[in-house]
């Protein structure tokens, strides 16, 4: 899918299997250069935000703030926008009629540099109380 001029690949996963990662400081290998880095994601239990690190191939780094509103809020966090809003969500017992949203956010990249990887913020693993950040896709352009 294309959003804000960036091409994203939505995870191809079977029903009942993970289609996103929970931001707990892990590294996402990337390649390419461009003016921005875009992410598709959502917060759970409130707006989820934190500091991520963009690492470039020349060894330099850039600290960036990422944030996604709660998926039930259906209103984006500042600086982001709604990618899509769905009329229901799938749960273990079937379908729950609750509107939920997936959001888009982007950060400006350093000009002329090539990305090596993105280290996600360490927000929460979802096993302890607090906000959780889910990331579905990342694109550079």
What spatial distance separates the first Cα and last Cα of the chain, rounded to whole Å?
A: 14
Contact between 43 and 110 (Cβ < 8 Å): no
pLDDT value of position 124:
85
Read off the pLDDT of each residue in 97-111 and give the average, rounded to a whole number.
97
Query: What is the per-residue pLDDT across 48-99, written as a single tens digit (0 to 9) for each?
Result: 999 999 999 999 999 999 999 999 999 999 999 999 999 998 887 888 999 9
What pLDDT score does 18 carry? 85
């Amino acid at each position: 899918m294309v959003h804000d001029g960036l091409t994203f690949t939505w995870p191809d996963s079977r029903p009942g299997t993970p289609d996103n990662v929970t931001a707990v400081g892990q590294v996402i290998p990337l390649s390419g250069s461009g003016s921005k880095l875009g992410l598709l994601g959502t917060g759970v239990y409130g707006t989820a935000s934190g500091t991520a690190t963009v690492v470039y191939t020349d060894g330099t780094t850039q600290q960036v703030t990422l944030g996604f509103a709660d998926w039930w809020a259906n209103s984006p966090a500042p600086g982001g926008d709604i990618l899509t809003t769905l009329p229901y969500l799938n749960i273990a017992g079937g379908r729950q009629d609750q509107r939920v949203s997936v959001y888009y956010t982007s950060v400006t990249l350093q000009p002329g540099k090539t990305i090596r990887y993105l280290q996600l913020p360490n927000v929460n693993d979802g096993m302890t109380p607090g906000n959780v950040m889910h990331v579905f896709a990342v694109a550079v352009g």
